């Protein structure tokens, strides 16, 4: 993966495959501690403690199309390369929380990448799932809750309408001359 | 950016009146971009972005763009599947942005599959 937003896309796809109806994504930069922390929390079907123990193993997956599962393994590796780490907590029927931290200024820390693109890809592919996104990057708090968006748009406009997705993308574009 | 502005949403809703895309099950074409770990690592999101832009430019309201997981052919990623109503679905492999736009223009818009980028054509022959 080239950047962290692609890792996030990958991990959240796990959430949607696990039947989540709500996924909370938070990116928190702590300049004092030099830590960048990404949290992905879903209300999917979760996993039992046995699976949880093995989930970082690249040769463990629930899918049937191939026998390797690299998503979490690659993310953990990306974190460890910066001296960071990853924790996964989960309970059957209660969802899963993936927390991953990076040393922000480490030379091997991948750039965040394009979260606008990640979120629009997620919404396009899973229009029935709600996403709450927040970050505190560039000294500005950003929050996006698709439940608010959905309530405002009503039943007439589906979340994956190209105009809605374009609007969402626009929220992530940096204004020029900034 | 900051918080989502309600006025902006109202504006979208107004501008979309009468032009809203058809919901699932009512579209003429369904495009599925494969977004497993393999697809994402190979560049599936760029494919998705290119399709979004072209879809929006086209103004078409009968095309559905969605994603799926790994199809088990990871070495052929990025891949996508085009399903035109009442015709055979076609799986395209080893894509890039240029190829995908050609597929959109020829197959999605004009129902003319691009054989060069397809995984296979028809089934095996026995002679």
Task: Please tell me the distance from the alpha carbon of residue B76 to that of residue A47, in angstroms, as a whole number.
Answer: 30
Q: Domain for residue B2, yes or no?
A: no
Which carries the bigger pLDDT value, residue B116 or residue B8? Answer: B116
* Interchain contact A69–B (C-beta under 8 A): yes
Selection from B116, B61, B67, B63 nearest residue A124 by Cα: B67
Strand ranges in chain B using DSSP code E only, listed in sequence order: 29-34, 63-68, 80-84, 90-92
The order of strands in the sheet holding A130-135 is: A85-91, A95-103, A35-42, A22-30, A130-135, A142-145
Selection from B16, B103, B36 nearest residue A161 by Cα: B16
* Interchain contact A13–B (C-beta under 8 A): yes
CATH value at residue B85: 3.40.30.10
Contact check, Cβ <8 Å, B56/A162: yes
Q: Are strands A130-135 and A22-30 parallel, antiparallel or unpaired?
A: parallel
What is the widest separation between alpha-carbon atoms in chain B? 65
Q: Which residues of A touch B33 (CB under 8 A)?
A: 121, 125
Q: Domain for residue B14, yes or no?
A: no
Look up residue A78 and give its two tokens.
Answer: 């990306």
- Which pLDDT score, from 0 to 100, does residue A62 have? 72
Say which CATH topology domain A4-172 has: Heat Shock Protein 90 (3.30.565)
Tally of structural domains, chain B: 1
Which residues in chain A come in under a pLDDT of 70? 63-68, 174-178
Q: Which residues of A touch B72 (CB under 8 A)?
A: 65-66
User: Which residue is closest to B50 within chain A, CA to CA?
Assistant: A117
Q: Which of B1, B8, B36 sits opposite A142 (nearest CB)?
A: B1
Query: What torsion do the CA atoms of B117, B119, B121, B123 make, to the nearest 10 degrees?
Result: 180
- Which pLDDT score, from 0 to 100, does residue A139 have? 81
Residue B122 has pLDDT above 50, yes or no: yes
Asked whether the ipTM of the predicted complex exceeds the cut of 0.85, the reply is no
Q: Which of A6, A74, A162 sits opposite B52 (nearest CB)?
A: A162
Contact check, Cβ <8 Å, B70/A157: no
- Which pLDDT score, from 0 to 100, does residue A7 have? 95
Q: Which of A118, A153, A171 sits opposite B1 (nearest CB)?
A: A171
- Which pLDDT score, from 0 to 100, does residue A177 have? 47
Which carries the bigger pLDDT value, residue B13 or residue B79? Answer: B79
pLDDT in tens, B30-55: 999 999 999 999 999 999 999 999 99
- Which pLDDT score, from 0 to 100, does residue A58 have? 79
User: Which residue is closest to B72 within chain A, CA to CA?
Assistant: A65
Phi, psi of B118 (to 5 degrees): -80, 150
* Interchain contact A139–B (C-beta under 8 A): no
Confidence of residue B25 (pLDDT cuts 50, 70, 90): low
Domain map of chain A by residue range? 4-172
Residue B126 has pLDDT above 60, yes or no: yes
Q: Domain for residue B16, yes or no?
A: no
pLDDT in tens, A113-134: 999 999 999 999 999 999 999 9
- Which pLDDT score, from 0 to 100, does residue B27 have? 83
| Domain of residue B113, residue span | 22-117
Q: Domain for residue B125, yes or no?
A: no
Residue B6 has pLDDT above 50, yes or no: yes
């Amino acid at each position: 993966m080239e950047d962290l937003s692609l890792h996030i896309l990958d991990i959240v796809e796990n959430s949607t495959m696990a039947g989540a109806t709500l996924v909370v994504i938070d990116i928190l930069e702590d300049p004092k501690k030099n830590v960048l922390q990404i949290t992905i929390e879903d209300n999917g079907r979760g996993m039992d403690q046995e699976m949880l123990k093995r989930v970082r193993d690249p040769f463990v997956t629930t899918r049937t199309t191939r026998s390797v599962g690299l998503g979490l393994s690659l993310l953990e590796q990306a974190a460890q390369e910066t001296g960071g780490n990853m924790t996964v907590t989960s309970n059957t029927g209660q969802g899963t929380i993936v927390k991953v931290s990076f040393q922000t200024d480490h030379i091997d820390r991948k750039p965040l990448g394009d979260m606008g693109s990640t979120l629009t890809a997620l919404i396009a592919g899973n229009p029935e799932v709600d996403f709450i996104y927040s970050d505190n990057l560039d000294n500005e708090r950003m929050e996006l809750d698709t439940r608010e968006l959905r309530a405002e748009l009503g039943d007439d406009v589906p979340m994956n309408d190209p105009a809605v997705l374009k609007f969402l993308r626009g929220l992530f574009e940096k204004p020029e001359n900034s | 950016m900051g918080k989502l502005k309600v006025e902006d949403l109202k504006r979208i809703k107004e501008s979309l009146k009468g032009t809203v895309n058809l919901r699932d099950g009512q579209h003429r074409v369904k495009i599925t971009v494969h977004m497993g770990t393999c697809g994402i690592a190979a560049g599936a999101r760029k494919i998705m972005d290119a399709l979004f832009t072209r879809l929006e430019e086209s103004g078409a309201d009968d095309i559905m763009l969605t994603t799926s997981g790994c199809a088990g052919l990871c070495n052929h990623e990025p891949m996508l599947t085009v399903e035109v109503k009442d015709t055979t679905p076609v799986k395209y492999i080893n894509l890039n942005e240029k190829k995908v736009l050609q597929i959109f223009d020829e197959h999605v818009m004009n129902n003319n599959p691009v054989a060069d980028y397809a995984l296979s054509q028809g089934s095996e022959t026995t002679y």
